[in-house]
């Protein structure tokens, strides 16, 4: 029978009390908002009284006030871990969620990780099995428990790096607007087994972060892999549209946008984009845009004659969004 690690229950509460209630000039207090300290102190008293849910409430409020408050973060991981211990016999599934929270807040805490593995085993599953951890992550994701999904996917790829699981991890991070973490996950996926889908998602995460140049480099790689894929083209078009809407309305950007629209058979929109590129050019002259505009009617006619025919390739001027 697995023995759950209770060392955190005593040692961390004791250390938390010392850290929270000390009135000395400890550097750990430097810059912390007074309201956050008071909430942390209330949480410590709740932890001593084993009122873990109240402790969690106070500590989450403290971190909302001051996300950099390290003591409150450590105490919050402790509260989730100890609440999981209190629930493990009567409600293992609920305990699992609390251990997930503890592990996400403090990923290097061996005690919480051990307790997480033990509760999985208590539920009749093998915590050392790759498939088990992925299945737990999938289940958590379907139920909207993105914390659990992140923790389980991360544990799965530690033992067996897998592109599909890294992609899932990136997807969940994107849902939570954690773009840096999503980018890292998608890059790991691409390094193992790249695909147009992964590159599109990487581009979207990069663009959400404001990294336009690398976003369009990713879209470009996706286009090379699947030049006629509707999802790739939709993402590329949406990307250029977003660039233009945010003020990067250079002739080059409108030409690139027009090329994507043309490739998507949105000829009227493409025509408007090329005309805008000409209007923005010095002297209202742009050889590339004028040529594309000139060739557009013939391509439109050909597309109407043969919907299955090949379209001409895009002439992407530069994947970097120009200001």
Mean pLDDT split into 10-residue runs, the chain, 323 residues: 53 46 41 85 95 97 93 96 95 96 94 96 96 98 97 96 98 97 98 95 92 86 85 81 76 84 87 92 92 89 67 49 47
- Looking at 105, 120, 135, the residue that finishes a domain is 120
Residues 256 and 288 both lie in one domain: yes
Tokens matching residue 109: 């805490």
Please check whether residue 60 lies inside any domain of the structure: yes
Q: Retrieve residue 76's tokens.
A: 């919050």
Answer whether residue 105 is part of any domain: yes
Q: Give just the sign of the alpha carbon dihedral 131, 136, 139, 145.
A: negative
pLDDT at 58: 97
Whether residues 23 and 101 share a domain: the answer is yes
Find the domain containing 30 and state its range.
Answer: 1-120
Structural domains counted in the chain? 3
User: Do residue 134 and residue 100 come from a single domain?
Assistant: no
Same domain for 35 and 105: yes
Is position 110 within any domain? yes
Residues 2 and 37 in one domain: yes
* 298, two tokens: 């013939």
Query: Are residues 136 and 80 part of one domain?
Result: no
Give the pLDDT score at 75: 96
| Rounded Cα gap, residues 277 and 256, in angstroms | 10
Q: Are residues 160 and 228 in the same domain?
A: no
pTM of the model: 0.77
């Amino acid at each position: 029978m697995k023995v759950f690690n209770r060392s955190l229950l005593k040692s961390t509460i004791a250390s938390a009390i010392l850290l929270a209630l000390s009135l000395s000039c400890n550097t750990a207090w430097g810059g912390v908002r007074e309201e956050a300290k008071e909430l942390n102190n209330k949480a410590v008293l709740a932890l001593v009284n084993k009122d873990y849910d109240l402790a969690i409430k106070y500590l989450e409020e403290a971190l909302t006030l001051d996300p950099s408050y390290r003591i409150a973060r450590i105490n919050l991981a402790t509260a989730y871990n100890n609440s999981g211990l209190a629930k493990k016999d009567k409600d293992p599934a609920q305990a699992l969620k609390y251990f997930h929270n503890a592990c996400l807040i403090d990923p290097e805490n061996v005690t919480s990780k051990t307790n997480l593995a033990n509760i999985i085993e208590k539920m009749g599953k093998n915590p050392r099995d790759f498939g088990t951890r992925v299945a737990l992550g999938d289940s958590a994701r379907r139920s909207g428990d993105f914390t659990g999904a992140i923790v389980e996917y991360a544990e799965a790829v530690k033992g067996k790096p897998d592109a599909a699981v890294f992609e899932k991890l990136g997807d969940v991070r994107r849902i939570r607007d954690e773009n840096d973490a999503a980018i890292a996950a998608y890059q790991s996926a691409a390094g193992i087994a790249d695909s147009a889908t992964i590159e599109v998602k990487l581009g979207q995460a990069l663009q959400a972060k404001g990294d336009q140049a690398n976003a369009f480099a990713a879209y470009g790689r996706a286009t090379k892999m699947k030049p006629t894929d509707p999802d790739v083209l939709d993402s590329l078009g949406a990307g250029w549209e977003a660039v233009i809407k945010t003020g990067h309305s250079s002739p080059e950007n409108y030409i690139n946008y027009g090329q994507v629209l043309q490739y998507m058979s949105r000829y009227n929109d493409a025509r408007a984009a090329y005309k805008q590129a000409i209007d923005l050019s010095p002297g209202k002259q742009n050889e590339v845009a004028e040529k594309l505009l000139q060739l557009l009617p013939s391509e439109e006619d050909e597309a109407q004659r043969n919907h299955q025919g090949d379209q001409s390739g895009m002439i992407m001027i530069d994947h970097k969004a120009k200001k």
